[in-house]
Structure formats: C-alpha cells, structure tokens
Amino acid sequence: MAVRTIIVDDEDLARSRISSLLKAEPDIKIVEECKNGRLAIKAILTQKPDLVFLDVQMPELDGFEVLKAIEKEHQPTVIFVTAYDRYAIRAFEAYALDYLLKPFNRARFQKALQRARLQIARETRDRVDGRLASLLKQMRTESKYLERLVIRSAGRVIFLRTEDVEWFEGCANYVRIHVGKESHLMREKVSSLEERLDPKRFIRIHRSNIVRIDRIKELRSSADGEHVVVLLDGTRLSLSRGYREHFQRVLRES
C-alpha cells in the first residue's frame, strides 16, 4: 500500500528537493504540494494523507498552527522541516515524528522516511487489529443467543423467530413452543434452551416454563402465597418460589 504524502513548504526549491527524493521511493505517493499553511490544512483534511513533510516557518500560518488546526484523530505522521534548530523542542512537543534541519542530505532524509514507514505500519496494524477485535466481539454478541428456531415435524421444516415466541413449555426431553394460537414441539430440554435465549428478552419462571418478558401482562398472588404470571393473551402460568426473586429483579430492571 502506497504511503500517501503531502509536502508543505513556502519555498519552491525546498518542495522540489523533497519531491525529487520521494519520487525515488516506489512506496511513496505524493498526493499534494502546498506553499502555505492554509492550503496545507485544506489538503490534509481533504486528502487524509499518511505522511506530511511540514515546514515550520511559513507566512500567515506556521507549521505548529497547521497542526493545531487539525483534530488529533485526523493528524497524519509529521516530519517537520526547517532551517532553524531552535524549533526542535516545540516540534517534538507537537508530536512530530522527526525533525529535518535544512540543508539535510539523502542519508538523513532516508532515516526520517524509514521511521515514518515503521510508524505508519504500526498505526495501520493497530487500526486493523482494533477493527478485527470489534468485529469478533460483535459476531460473538450476535451469535451468542438464538435468533430463530428450526422445527422438523412430519416431513416439514418450520422456521420460527424467537421474537415471535410467547412462551416455552418443557415436556421431559421436549419443549413445546407457543406462538399465538399455534404450538410446535422441539426435541430439547428446557435447561439447555434457556442457556441459548437472550436473558434480556426471556425469563424462566418455573422448571418447565420460560416466557418472553414483553408478553407479561401482570403478576397475581393468591391468599395461599402462590403467584401466577398472566400473559397478554390471558395465559396463566405458575411462578415457582425458586424463580420468584430473580423474576422480580428482572422486571424491576426492565
């Protein structure tokens, strides 16, 4: 991948010198040359270069003012170029990678350029690693919980979205899935199904029953201390004591 580069210097001869040195480098692509700070800011924001050779002393806006005008996240790798060594400390305070003092020879220029290559490669690798880590995290999150169920019955394959399910009813090694007025039987234990459902959307209320949280209408209690969960369609399901505390905590949080 080519290193996109901008040269900024108010002297034509200085820009030409850097340009001629860079043209001998096959991995360098000069995308723009600027003769003042205002043009430099515009070019950096537009071209989004990897590397900028930036003159310190320029009319109107100097090199330091150019960098101040560019937000940190948009700042490229910078090599300052100047005829005055008194700017060296300020250059590094401005997070410049290197500082070329005019007149510089090819060897010194090559050294600065090689440092820039390593820096850019490292930043690119970090960005890629960060994007990959973010993508993997997203994939894990998305694939962690069931989004749909596949039911095989009497030569048919039925696909159900978990968001359409109102409640699950455990029957030994099977689970009956209730979707509106329909129900489907799937070979799986309630305990293993519970682990695969999003706990923000589903809650177990009994050793045999799991309900979708947003389908709960109300919780009723009887004189003998028993609790019943009533769904929006009127279905009444027992809330066992072992799940009562967790149920109440989830409802408060949701």
Residue 92, pLDDT score: 60
Q: What is the CATH number of domain 3-141?
A: 3.40.50.2300
Determine the distance from the C-alpha atom of residue 156 to the mean position of all C-alpha atoms in its chain, rounded to a whole number: 40
Side-chain-facing half-sphere of 197: CA atoms under 13 Å: 27
pLDDT for 79-137, tens place per residue?
988 887 766 666 666 667 888 888 899 999 999 999 999 888 888 777 767 776 666 66
**By the 8 A CB rule, do 118 and 126 touch?**
no
**pLDDT at site 9:** 94
Whole-angstrom distance, CA of residue 84 vs CA of residue 205: 76
Q: Which of 253, 249, 214, 211 is nearest to 228 (CA)?
A: 211
* CA-only gyration radius of the chain, Å: 33
Q: Quote the CA–CA distance of 153 and 157 in Å, as a whole number.
A: 6
In angstroms, the CA 122 to CA 116 distance is 10
Specify the 3-state DSSP secondary structure of 56. Answer: coil
Is CATH 3.40.190.80 the classification given to domain 148-253? no
Domain ranges of the chain: 3-141, 148-253
pTM of the model: 0.52
Q: Is the pLDDT of residue 245 over 80?
A: yes
